[in-house]
Amino acid sequence: MKKPDNHIYVIFGASGDLAKRKLIPALYSLYVQNLLPVKFVLLGVSRTELSDDEFRKKMKEALNKFKEIDDTTQIDRFVTLLYYLSINTEDKNDYKNLKIRLEELRKENNIEANTIFYLSTPPNLYSVIPKNLSAYKLNNQNDGWKRLIIEKPFGYDLESAENLKNELMQDWTEEQIYRIDHYLGKETVQNLLVTRFSNGIFEPLWNRNYIHHVEVTSAENIGVEDRGGYYESSGALRDMIQNHLLQIVGLIAMEPPSSLEPVAIRNEILKVFQSLRPIKPEEVKTSAVRGQYISSKIKGEFIHGYREEKGVDPHSTTETYAALKFYIDNWRWGGIPFYIRTGKRLPTRVTEVVVHFKETPHFLFHKDGDVNSCNQLVLRIQPDEGILLKFGMKIPGAGFDVQTVNMDFHYADLAVERIPSAYERLLYDSMKGDSTLFARTEEVIAAWKFLIPVLNEWKNNKSIPLHGYPAGTWGPEHADDLIEEPNMTWRYPCKNLADDGVYCEL
């Protein structure tokens, strides 16, 4: 693959957890594969007082613990590319020191002024740091490109997202801003495009004439762990659906792009978001379900409920489970329901898309009691990544008894040594200036506009229940009511892709 232009990579919050666990290991993987620029250095920036050597030592320890590639022989050479600067990121005057340090590193290493600024910081700094960078013209592209990478969440609601957009656009252009969503960096998410548009057998069926409904599930078997404080201000809808899962819906529902250029792909995703049928306040009760896990025993082990977790209000109404039913009002999808659910403390960790095809018009082999007997295409994103097609086959013997069978492909069957991590792919793309897998401002705003009625009703309408569900189950039973068909229900995925959609318990 092509090497990116020479540049300096600046990570704000370099002493934090994300840098140690994900960013530095991803950059090291690129280094081992000879995918970093010919001339490259990384400058870590944070409040913590560290020397260059102390920072290198910490990152060396992190690489040995969190490495994403087996080769550890090049760690010593890689860490010589790392430098460190301590500043108060909220003090504009300290950015003078950053500018001086960048100029020194460029001169010492003969590197152009191309620079990436990665904000691995709390969201309250997403407008502060870019503003302070621009105060010292560190956003100026006259001497080389400058790019800004921002982690989610991009705003807390529609108003804060629009405010952040306006603040950033005062000093930075849309082309300079990369909103990172690690879900889009997963190989299996990107494979949704290839599955749809490189195979003549799928795309002709990918519409309201043949599809009954589409289901997207992202389940976690863990609780909030030590993130109770953060989760209290977020909840499942903001944490997962507003970004990760709606982006997956965009890839599933988009029209074929005119090319693989970033603008063409992102334009089609934006059209999907703009076609989302608004959920009216009076429709929230029947279109959305929220829940919160309560204590239970799993395999004899007592599991605390959400309200007993560290940093959580004992009277909290924050949802740890959210499910939605919605429609995309365009020619391809008109009248076809989409269902999304996500939750914590569910039976297993799994993310997948299930395309449910319509039943045959003549029920020759239909038997009373059949459930989910229509064909299904399962696109598994994690774990056991792959594709599963479910269809009917005759059971050997007399008569025409039919059994659902699976035809499956596992991503691990491809003859590749390793699948790159999501951050590895996204950091590499950001270096090349490829914004395909990064969310655009309009996408973020459109997603917030769609979800705000649900969030507002959940906050203000006391008649909408917050359902408790025992940890280790598939969430509130009321979520089944979203799927109105009498013989249809959610698929209950297990860890192994090929397992039938039985009720998978821990």
Asked whether the beta carbons of 342 and 240 are under 8 A apart, the reply is: yes
Q: Which residues contact 310 (CB under 8 A, 6 or more apart)?
A: 226, 228
Positive or negative CA dihedral for 321, 456, 287, 387?
negative
**Cβ atoms of 229 and 328 closer than 8 Å:** no
State the Cα–Cα distance between residues 37 and 502, nearest whole angstrom.
49
Active-site residue among 244, 304, 356, 478? 244
What's the CA gap between 406 and 15, in Å, rounded? 47
State which H helix or E strand residue 266 sits in: helix 262-274
DSSP 165-176: HHHHHTT--GGG
Neighbouring residues of 108: CB distance < 8 A, sequence distance ≥ 6: none
The yes-or-no answer on residue 182 being catalytic is: no
Paired tokens of 173: 């252009």
- Assess contact for 140 and 102: CB atoms under 8 A: no
Residue type, 378: V
Which token pair is 133?
């960078």
Q: Do residues 42 and 82 lie in contact, with contact meaning Cβ atoms separated by under 8 Å?
A: yes
Interstrand relation of 115-119 and 177-180 (parallel, antiparallel or unpaired): unpaired
HEC string of 368-423 equals CCCCCCCCEEEEEEECCCEEEEEEEEECCCCCCCEEEEEEEEEHHHCCCCCCCCHH
Angle between helices 246-253 and 187-197 (to 10 degrees): 20
- Which residues are marked as active site? 244
